[in-house]
Amino acid sequence: MKLLVTGGAGFIGSNFIRYWFKKYPKDKIVNLDKLTYAGHLSTTKDFSQKENYKFVKGDVGDFKLVSKLTKSIDVVVNFAAESHNDRAIQDPGIFVKTNVLGTQILLEAARREKVKRFHHISTCEVFGELELDEKRSFKEDDPFRPRTPYNASKAAADHVVMAYYYTFGMPITISHCCNNLGPYQHPEKLIPRFVTNLMEDKNIPLYKSSQFKREWIYVDDHNNAVDSIIEKGRIGEIYNIGTGEERSVEEIADRLLELLDKPKSLKKYVPDRKSHDKRYLLNTQKIRSELKWQPRYNFSEALDKTIKWYEKNEWWWRPLKRKAESLYDKTGQK
Ligand code: NAD
Ligand code: TDX
């Protein structure tokens, strides 16, 4: 099989390629990535020399390029996106350009080339937020109620993907996943930011609403679910991917201080994120019953593996750290 993976020099996409080559060593993968501030060739170093792997630097929104790249491709997996809520508050335009227009351009090229499957990676955030004490969780067919420029762009992209299914019969699937943790996550995001700050004995900046919660999944479990959807998922269907493992930011901060043996005085409360979503929780009945998928790692195992990786791989995150923190110089959240 030949895959076109977009955004494969970022966090989840690179772990997807790693996962795929381990499970299907003979498959061919083309990785299209623009190498924005979030994409790095250091992230693909361990598989970059493989004969059946090719890297192309470019934009998913470049129709000429993606038309060429989708030729003789069986499956497109679209991870490429602007992915950080705090950046979307600084510059919403690029989120609409890449996440919405880029997705449409890639879809159009894949449609013309009659690609057999287009799998689109989406997020729990399209459904909006839940109250902290609310009993329900989001189902695949719940209405979208995005509240941030990032999650609005992801919701819009999902609508475009579905439109290609209804209008052109395009063989698409979509997955909505909860918050990922694991190796190669950019140090601008919560867990790697806190782990690497603590390794340097620096403060960990908790946004004021530190009781807000997220549902966490180890990145390999996310990718294993995407694999199940590509293999067994029904065309035109949307699948939620989640674990039920909810933790507040406060709980994560306390656990990291404990695991890294650092003083509580390193916790610092900083101004809140604008339109900070309180909580997301996915109902994952569909993927569990229909595709027999379930996560392998609980949060505690995932956190241990992630911390160990950052401890062993300073060569990867150190060059990114200063630039990652420069975002928070602008927002005052440090
Ligand atoms: P990331 O920011 O680490 O990686 C994104 C990658 O996309 C980078 O390598 C970047 O260079 C590339 N990219 C950006 N714009 C591009 C463009 N125009 N053309 C080609 N490449 C481009 O993000 P991530 O955390 O790995 O997220 C990957 C996908 O998963 C995104 O679609 C995101 O919305 C989704 N998602 C992420 C999470 C999470 O917890 N990180 C959870 C659910 C869904
Ligand atoms: O320094 C911080 N301090 C802090 O309190 C950072 C970076 C975050 N936070 C809080 C904000 C959120 O409540 O931690 C929580 C998680 O924040 P992020 O790591 O920025 O992730 P989030 O906004 O939840 O979005 C992530 O999961 C869903 C990904 O970045 C998205 O791409 C994905 O769709």
> Which pLDDT value is given to residue 120?
99
CA–CA gap between residue 334 and residue 328 (Å, rounded): 6
Residue 104 near residue 31, CB atoms below 8 Å: no
Residue 206 near residue 250, CB atoms below 8 Å: yes
Residue linked to tokens 């901060």? 253
CB distance 103 to ligand 2 below 6 Å? no
Domains of the chain by range and CATH?
2-179+218-241 (3.40.50.720), 181-214+245-275+298-324 (3.90.25.10)
pTM: 0.99
- d(CA 238, ligand 1 centre) in Å: 19
CB distance 85 to ligand 2 below 6 Å? yes
> Which pLDDT value is given to residue 227?
99
> Which pLDDT value is given to residue 302?
98
Cα dihedral: 289, 290, 296, 302 (round 10): -100
DSSP structure string for 102-141: IHHHHHHHHHHTT-SEEEEEEEGGGG----TT----B-TT
Quick one: which of 265, 121, 251, 244 has its CA closest to 202?
Answer: 265
Question: Mean pLDDT throughout 37-55?
Answer: 98
CA–CA gap between residue 56 and residue 77 (Å, rounded): 15
> Which pLDDT value is given to residue 157?
99
Q: Tell me the pLDDT band of 212, cut-offs 50, 70 and 90.
A: very high
pLDDT tens-digit profile of 70-110?
999 999 999 999 999 999 999 999 999 999 999 999 999 99
> Which pLDDT value is given to residue 282?
98
Question: Mean pLDDT throughout 297-311?
Answer: 98
Residue linked to tokens 């110089």? 329
CB distance 40 to ligand 1 below 6 Å? no
Mean pLDDT across the chain: 98
Residue 41 near residue 48, CB atoms below 8 Å: yes
> Residue 68 gets which letter from DSSP?
H
- d(CA 231, ligand 2 centre) in Å: 30
CA–CA gap between residue 183 and residue 105 (Å, rounded): 30
Question: Mean pLDDT throughout 181-199?
Answer: 98
> Which pLDDT value is given to residue 9?
99
> Which pLDDT value is given to residue 153?
98
> Which pLDDT value is given to residue 5?
99
> Which pLDDT value is given to residue 269?
98
Question: Mean pLDDT throughout 218-244?
Answer: 98
Residue 179 near residue 125, CB atoms below 8 Å: no
- d(CA 83, ligand 1 centre) in Å: 5
CA–CA gap between residue 229 and residue 99 (Å, rounded): 21
pLDDT tens-digit profile of 112-145?
999 999 999 999 999 999 999 999 999 999 999 9
> From atom 17 of ligand 2, which residue's Cα is the shortest distance away?
190
